[in-house]
Structure formats: structure tokens, C-alpha cells
A and B are shown apart, each in its own frame.
Chain A
């Protein structure tokens, strides 16, 4: 089968699929945090002139309430792709880590600062602070996550540019092309918004329908406010989608012409997923923008579109990266890794743990005292 990744050696194909699927899981939470923090920073800096300021809108309340958990989930979900990237791209990943050096090591303390600031943003205390102080904190949070996004982007680009490694070590210039890095970074940042909007849409609908522990969200979920919030999401979703497409095109033009050609010809099989994903999302968001409410079908349409695009982007990303590595070395290494054993253990315990996680969620939904 000449479809990436199924055209690879079986072992490598298997690890690439596992890597991409776990990466998508991580990306769902990561994009929620990244786009959510940028939205909150914007809402704090520009509160608007409506009855309910942006920073106190249901959307902002939901984001504030759930972002610490989402970050926790993003970090937890991020462990798996971090593990598999070391199996597939051991040399490339380690070398780019080392070349980024202190910048890479800063990711952890910056994330810790960002994490604690999220709790500050969530606390009641911050509402008593001045606009400038609130703005500084929310901008600080967004800054932390944008820095982490920059580091991952730089790491990725460095990893696929082995010819530059000695030069980067000598000069410390980790960015070879600002345009390439900026377009790739902006593609991910803008692409984070449609995913965040999709998740937030489900959350807002959930809070509207059920008694909730976020009282302010409840109060503001009266019809007009809800419709207004949905439209905000629709605008952001559409805008993010358009911008990510624009930056992706820009990034494609920074690639070497031959690689771009190969990328387009080999990656064409994933185009339907991208197109269908984009059309589904655009249709869903347009419908929400024009109508007075939402529907389950629209939410499903947007979600399927989102997931379809994420999976397609994930595989295309790896297709490009694998074209830059020495396949003989990678195949040999991955084949050997596949032989060490333990996969059955992972499958068995993962099924058990998914069941237990579902049980936890069911428990909190049913076994409450009703207070």
C-alpha cells in the first residue's frame, strides 16, 4: 500500500501510528490551553463594552475553570508521544534537545510558572486586582505557553535539519529561518483556536443543560448571552481555521522545492481528510454564526472535522520528518525496539485503566450527595 505511513516497514509504521494517535490526544488538550490562554489574555486586555465584559463571559469563566485540568491532561497525555518520539527519532530528537540546551531546559520551569499562574487566574482573588494586574497575569500565562510552543517548533525544525547541527552548536543560532519558524509556529497557534472552540462549545452546552458548579456560567447562560458566546466561538473557530491554512501554505513555501513536490505528491492521500475536516468545521461554524442556537448534529460535524484535520496534520507532519531521516538507521533501530516485548502488558493495563477512568467519571456523575 503506497499510503503513508502504511508504505513504511511494518515496525516503523506501527510506531508512527501509535505516535501520531497519542500526539493527537496530547494536541487536543494542548491546543485548549494554548488558545484558551491567548483568548483570556485578549479578554483581559480588551474587556469590550457589552453588559458582561469579555473576561467575565461564560466562555472566559469556563476556560478559567478548566484550563488547570487541561494543562495537567496535556502534560500527562504528552508523556506518551514524548516516549515514542524517542523510539522513532532517537538521534534527531536528542540532538535537537542538546542543541537547544538551556532554552529547552527552560520549558519545564516556564510550564511550572504557567501552571501556577493558571490557578491564580482561576482564583477569586484575581477579580479584586486592577485591570493592569489582571492583564499582566493573563498575558504572562499566554507568554509562558507561547514560549513552550516556540521551543517545540524550534526543536522540530532543528531535528530535521541535520546538516546544520555542527553550525548550530558553534554559533548557538537555533533558528535558521525566521520565516519558516514563524509560519510553522503561527500555523499551530492559529490552528489551536478551532480545537479550543470545539471543546468550549461542548462545555458551554453542557453547562447550559445541567446544574453546574460554576454558578456564574449558569447565571449567564440565558438565551441571548449563550447565542452571543456561540457566535464568538464560531468567529474564532473560522478565523483560526483560515489563518492556520494561510500559515501552512506559507510554511510549505519555505520548504525546499523538491521536498515540497514530494510532500505534495506523497501527501495527497491525506488531502481528503484535510479538505473534509476543513469543510465540516467551516460548515458547522457558519451554521452557528447564522442561526440562533446550536444542535447536536452541528457539534458532531465540527468535532469530526477537527479530529479529521488533526489526524491528517499529524501524519503529514511525520511524513515530512521521516523524509529527512536516514531510513536504514531508523528502520533497524525501530525493528529492534519492536522486539523487546511488553506491548501486550501495555494493551492489557491500558484497557483496564480506561475502564477505571470511565468508572471515576461515572462515579462523580452519580454518587453525589446532592448538596
Chain B
């Protein structure tokens, strides 16, 4: 069979590559969703201005759009490109599969992005000379294009977690309108509106020469965009129900880290929603710049938590049933167990000096190929620390049956000798990297490893549990 190309792996020191990806992704998602929601907010305020419902609304529209352009057009667009670059750095096979399967969807999204920029820039440059109707038309087109961008990208992102019937049919429609598409789209749209509303509250407080009643009237209007938050619990439950059972299990307690981030996201959303309902609508309170900024930061926390959960709950895959988080494809595992996962790796080891022998060197290469996307050796999510309570035999068995040891881990995809080399490398690091290090050459050890690997099989635990459910 044709095996995937082996890419070079970069070392990020104590940071695991996934963290780098998460940082860029969260920042971009926050800005992009702010840009989409900003369009809705501006349309609403332009309408308020045109219908005479708020005399200060026009002032707000012009000020807010400048902020939107300076933040969204610059940072939003470039961090979007940044996500692509970062994805390549972290897992080229993953982004490669996404682009391969959905490049025309992405190209369609691009055409909407072009419309977004043109409509937005026309408004930005000429808004003070446009008729009200023309200004509203441009804002509506801008908003339509920005939301359409969300629509298209949402389909690709949702596919990563819930490819649904695409796995069998390979139909682009099945992949795009996958089980979590609609709850995800509606949920994200509400997040967009909330972010724009909170950013609007911050901005209202920054408009010079605006008295308190005027500010309050604008704040209360901006808060209207938080109304859809009442639907968030229903959409959240819908999304959870659409998730694969194993992924849902991790979010709801199976993985402490995942549940913690999930709770941060829920807690922050409840805090924002509570303030919106009690403070801004029922008591019609005024919200000052500091409070609005704090709420916006909470929203950032909620976004970060939500994105972490979305990324993390896909494990052991980066694209469910298509690519493992290690970048290895499920159908390659059996072959890699036969020929070895690093036998065709042309790249030398660079970041581990003083390796004492060939076995440990091989182990370091296996670590780079199979573990380095999500783990470091001694930094964050460090393998040396995660395994420090295991003895050598336990380590051999746990890695050989990795998908059973931890169901969110992919199966080991290498030969028994490579697994033994990986164990030697981990033990060598745990022993403080001595210059001389004896390794086991006992054939019985390799035979035992092979037996454990055969017992565990070559499929992910999620696949075997699915088969169990079917039976």
C-alpha cells in the first residue's frame, strides 16, 4: 500500500505543538466571530438610526466599524492565514486531508471572504458620504458574507469531529452537512452576536463627548444581541448529543482536563448570560467600560474553553476515522507494524544530543514520529512524567495496548523493536540521560510485546467500542 509522506518535525521546547495551535486558533476564532457578530450589530444600529429609534446609533456605527476594520480586517484575516501555517507546522497530514476533501468548499468560502472585504471596505471608506439606504445595503452584504464564511468553515470543522455518513459515502454533502453541523452553526452564530454585543458595550464607553443617558441607551440596545443566548443550553445539549459517544464521555467526566475546560466555557457563558438578563434587560443597568471589558474577557475564556473541548474531544483522531492525532492514518497502522514507522524517515535527530546507543536513538525517532505532536519528553504533557510510575514491563504493555490503556490514544504504529526502543528512550530520559546505557536485547521481550500488540489489534478503541455497540 502507498504510505503517507513523512514530514520533518519541529521542536517547540517545553511547549507541545498542540498548545501553539490552540493559542493561534483561539485568538483567530475569537476575532473572526467578533467580525461576524459585528456585522449584525452594525446592521441593527444602522436600522435604529434610519428609523429614528436611537439618535446616537449612527455615531456608534461609524466608530464601531473603524474598530472592526482595524481588528478584524487586519488581525482576523492574518490570523486566519496563521492558522493554516500553524496547522502545517503541527500536523501537515491533517490540514492536507482537510484541504484535499473540501478545497472547493474552502474556495467558495474564499469568494465570500472577497465579498466581505469589498463590502466592508466600501463602507469603511465612503460611509460618511453614502445615503442611509446604501450604507445599510453595504452593511447587510458585509454581514451576509461574513456569516457565510462562518457557514462554510463550520462545515469543515464540524466534519473533523463528526464525519457521519461521509466515512462510507465519501460524498461532500454528507461530509459538510454532518451530524454536528447545525448545532455548531447556530451555537457559533450566537457566540458571534454575544461577542459583538460585549465589544459594542466597551466601545460605547470609549466614544468621546457622549453623555451618560446616551451611552446607556446605546448599551441597552447593544445588549439586545445577547438575547439569543437563552438558546445556548438547548444548542449545547444538541451539540453534545451529536458528538460521538466516546467524545461526549470525555467531555462529561471521562477526561478531567476536558471536563474542566468544558465547565470553564459553560461557567463563563452563564456569567455573561446572567449579567445580560439581570443587569441589562431586567434592571436596565448601565455597564461601564471596565465591566464590559471584563465580560469580554470572560467571553474569551468561554471561547477558549469551547475550542479546547472541540479540539480535544476528537482524540485519538485529528479527523475522526481519517487521521490520528499523531498524523498517521488508521489504515497505515498494520503496515507500519510490519515495516516500521521510522524506517523511511529521512530526517536526522537534532534536538536530543548525547544519545548513548542505536536503540535509544531509534526510540527518540519513534517518539518524534508518533508522540511529538501532542507530547514533549519533559515539558508540557511530558511522556517522561506521565509514565514515571510505570516499570519497564508495564510501560511495554501499556504502550503496546495504548488504545486500551487510554482510549483517547491511537494504537501504537510501529514494530515491536521500535516499541522497545521507545521504552528504552523514555527510561533513559527518566534516568537523567546517562552517557552509557544498557538496553535489553532479550528476544522474549520482543515476542511478548508482539503478543500484546496483536491482542490490542490495530484499530482505535473508539472503533472497537463502536463495533461492540453494533453487536
Q: Is B390 close to A, CB under 8 A?
A: no
Chain A residues numbered 354-370 whose CB sits less than 8 Å from any CB in chain B? 354, 356-357, 359-361, 363-364, 367-370
B103→A87 contact, CB < 8 A: yes
Supplied contacts A108-B85, A364-B134, 6 more A-B pairs, CB within 8 Å: A77-B114, A84-B103, A169-B350, A170-B350, A349-B108, A350-B108
Residues of A contacting B350 in the complex (Cβ-Cβ under 8 angstroms): 169-170
A208 to B: closest C-beta gap in Å: 19
B84 to A: closest C-beta gap in Å: 7
**Residue with the greatest number of chain A CB neighbours at <10 A, chosen from B79, B84, B118, B137:** B118
Q: A69-B121, A353-B114 are in contact. Are A337 and B77 (CB under 8 A)?
A: no
Q: Is B213 close to A, CB under 8 A?
A: no
Q: Is B354 close to A, CB under 8 A?
A: no
A342 and B348 CA atoms in complex are apart in Å by: 40
Q: A99-B8, A343-B104 are in contact. Are A83 and B75 (CB under 8 A)?
A: no
Q: A80-B107, A90-B96, A360-B138 are in contact. Are A105 and B85 (CB under 8 A)?
A: yes
Residues of B contacting A87 in the complex (Cβ-Cβ under 8 angstroms): 99-100, 103
Q: A364-B122, A371-B129 are in contact. Are A94 and B106 (CB under 8 A)?
A: no
Q: Is A242 close to B, CB under 8 A?
A: no
Residues of A contacting B126 in the complex (Cβ-Cβ under 8 angstroms): 213, 364, 368
B445 to A: closest C-beta gap in Å: 31
B74→A115 contact, CB < 8 A: yes
Q: Is B371 close to A, CB under 8 A?
A: no
Partner of B110, one of A83, A102, A165: A83
Q: Is A112 close to B, CB under 8 A?
A: yes
Q: A99-B8, A353-B115 are in contact. Are A346 and B108 (CB under 8 A)?
A: yes
Of all chain B residues, which has the CB nearest A77? B114
Chain A residues numbered 66-102 whose CB sits less than 8 Å from any CB in chain B? 69, 72-73, 75-80, 82-84, 86-87, 90-91, 94-95, 97-99, 101-102
A-contact bits for B1-13, CB 8 A (1 contact / 0 none): 0000101111000
B70→A108 contact, CB < 8 A: no
Q: Is B346 close to A, CB under 8 A?
A: yes
Residues of A contacting B85 in the complex (Cβ-Cβ under 8 angstroms): 97, 104-105, 107-108
Chain B residues numbered 89-142 whose CB sits less than 8 Å from any CB in chain A? 89, 92, 95-96, 99-108, 110-115, 117-119, 121-122, 125-126, 128-131, 133-134, 137-138, 141
A367→B134 contact, CB < 8 A: yes
Q: Is B88 close to A, CB under 8 A?
A: yes
Q: How many residues of A contact B (CB 8 A)?
A: 62
Q: DSSP majority for the B interface?
A: helix
29 contacts between A and B (CB under 8 A): A69-B121, A72-B73, A72-B77, A77-B114, A82-B81, A82-B84, A83-B110, A90-B99, A94-B96, A101-B10, A105-B82, A111-B81, A166-B346, A166-B347, A169-B8, A170-B348, A340-B101, A340-B103, A341-B104, A342-B102, A342-B105, A342-B108, A346-B104, A350-B111, A359-B141, A364-B122, A367-B130, A369-B131, A370-B129
Which residues does B use to contact A, with CB under 8 Å? 5, 7-10, 70, 73-75, 77-82, 84-86, 88-89, 92, 95-96, 99-108, 110-115, 117-119, 121-122, 125-126, 128-131, 133-134, 137-138, 141, 145, 170-173, 346-348, 350
Q: Is A1 close to B, CB under 8 A?
A: no
A340→B130 contact, CB < 8 A: no
B129→A369 contact, CB < 8 A: yes
Residues of A contacting B346 in the complex (Cβ-Cβ under 8 angstroms): 165-166
Of all chain A residues, which has the CB nearest B132? A369
A78 and B145 CA atoms in complex are apart in Å by: 18
Q: Is A119 close to B, CB under 8 A?
A: yes
Q: Is A116 close to B, CB under 8 A?
A: yes
Which residues does A use to contact B, with CB under 8 Å? 69, 72-73, 75-80, 82-84, 86-87, 90-91, 94-95, 97-99, 101-102, 104-105, 107-108, 111-112, 115-116, 119, 165-166, 169-170, 213, 333, 336-337, 340-343, 345-346, 349-350, 353-354, 356-357, 359-361, 363-364, 367-371
Partner of B118, one of A80, A342, A361: A361
A313 and B99 CA atoms in complex are apart in Å by: 26
A55 to B: closest C-beta gap in Å: 22
A95 and B118 CA atoms in complex are apart in Å by: 34
B119→A83 contact, CB < 8 A: no
Partner of B347, one of A90, A169, A356: A169
Of all chain A residues, which has the CB nearest B131? A367
Q: A97-B89, A98-B8, A349-B112 are in contact. Are A368 and B77 (CB under 8 A)?
A: no
A341→B113 contact, CB < 8 A: no
Partner of B99, one of A83, A112, A170: A83
A357 and B145 CA atoms in complex are apart in Å by: 11
A86 to B: closest C-beta gap in Å: 5
B81→A166 contact, CB < 8 A: no
Residues of B contacting A79 in the complex (Cβ-Cβ under 8 angstroms): 80-81, 110, 113
Residues of B contacting A343 in the complex (Cβ-Cβ under 8 angstroms): 104
